[in-house]
Chain A
Amino acid sequence: MATVCDSLLSKEIGVNCSDPLVAGLEPNGVIVNRSQVDFAACTINSDRDNVVESFVLETGAKGYAVAQQGSSPFTGTQVALEVGTYRNTFTNTVSLVVFDNDPDVCREIIDKLANGEFIVILENKYKGLNKEDNKGDAAFQIFGWYQGLVASEITNEKYSEDTDGGWLVTLEETKSPKSGMFLYNSDYDTTKSIVDSLTA
């Protein structure tokens, strides 16, 4: 018998008064080549299928830190609904600035970003540390888990006051079936140690 996926709401839509939502992202993130993720070793929480409990890379592969400057790092990063014919999905957009420009940057970063497929892990300013259960599970959000992020815009505007002549890169994942994927294992510190180990 065919399975029917229902879309029934299962939680109240309230306002968190004790731990109010905070906008924005921390200035440091991690980018990994999607093809170097060991998906067989990654695990998803059995109760919450949008929580990745372990995010493991292939042998020898590593993630690369993404450092941003300014008061609103990763400006333009967002998740938006995409209406489909039979099913609605989400488009994840990650915007970042490469504050550098030389032959090595162009060859090793920009050219690769232009054609590769990536997963980016960003840290929300709102971490949910005051929750009763799963404290800190809102901290680390994964973009590109399902389809991978690919470049949709890369510009190097020489007189840009925003980027100081750096590269503005927009990565996009379309047709993601879930509105948000999070990295979380046990607590905030343990999850942070996963993120730290990706780039070490």
Chain B
Amino acid sequence: MTRDDILNELRGMAADFTPSSFVKRRIEQLHLQVFGRVFTPTTCRNCYHDAIMLMYNHLKKNLPMAQEKEFILKRGALIQPVFGGKYYSSLTITDDVARTYLQRHPEDKHLFEKMGSLDAPVVAAAPVEPQAVEGSVVAAPVEETPVVKKTTKRKAKR
């Protein structure tokens, strides 16, 4: 989607805002595209509408979109850079992941709508997660902290 497409969509949403699950999911997707981070809803009733206005103002000021990417996957395509690791779709892929992936799998060029230069320096390597699959939760070990009991002394009544 281009910047203008997103602006038009946000304009329509703001004019006729209905907080249905469908609209909320769409706002979450756009948030990821515009700011590059997952939208975290708060308990505030207007948080989704606020997100629309934040994105709209951001784009209206011609500030850069997080995902004006060099590499764009076709819609529906999935790639898995590391066997058994995380899958990436057109919504979640980054340029670095795409570049690293294409250097290893040039035969999958047909899955991309847009491709930048493969020779550009890779700033960060694709994350290596041999076990972690998107959506799975791995519990981190929790250090035990000593429990300090509060003791209150009652003053003796005279």
Chain A residues at the B interface, C-beta cutoff of 8 Å: 27-28, 38, 40-41, 54-63, 65, 67, 185-187, 189-190, 193-194, 196-200
What does DSSP make chain B's interface, helix, strand, loop or mixed? loop
- A190-B87, A193-B92, A197-B76 given; 6 more Cβ-contact pairs under 8 Å: A28-B21, A63-B76, A189-B135, A193-B78, A198-B75, A200-B90
Residues of A within 8 A of B20 (CB): 67
Is B110 within 8 A of A41, CB to CB? yes
Q: How many residues of chain B have a CB within 8 Å of chain A?
A: 25
Residues of A within 8 A of B134 (CB): 189-190, 193
What does DSSP make chain A's interface, helix, strand, loop or mixed? mixed
Answer whether A185 and B133 are a contact pair too, CB < 8 Å, given A41-B110, A193-B87: no
Is A196 within 8 A of B91, CB to CB? yes
Kindly identify which residue among A54, A59, A187, A198 contacts B133, using a CB–CB cutoff of 8 Å: A187
Chain B residues at the A interface, C-beta cutoff of 8 Å: 1, 20-22, 25-26, 29, 33, 73-78, 87, 89-92, 110-111, 113, 133-135
12 contacts between A and B (CB under 8 A): A28-B22, A38-B74, A54-B77, A65-B22, A189-B134, A189-B135, A190-B135, A193-B89, A196-B89, A197-B73, A197-B91, A199-B26
Question: How close is B72's CB to chain A, nearest CB, in angstroms?
Answer: 9
In Å, the complex CA distance between A55 and B78 comes to 9
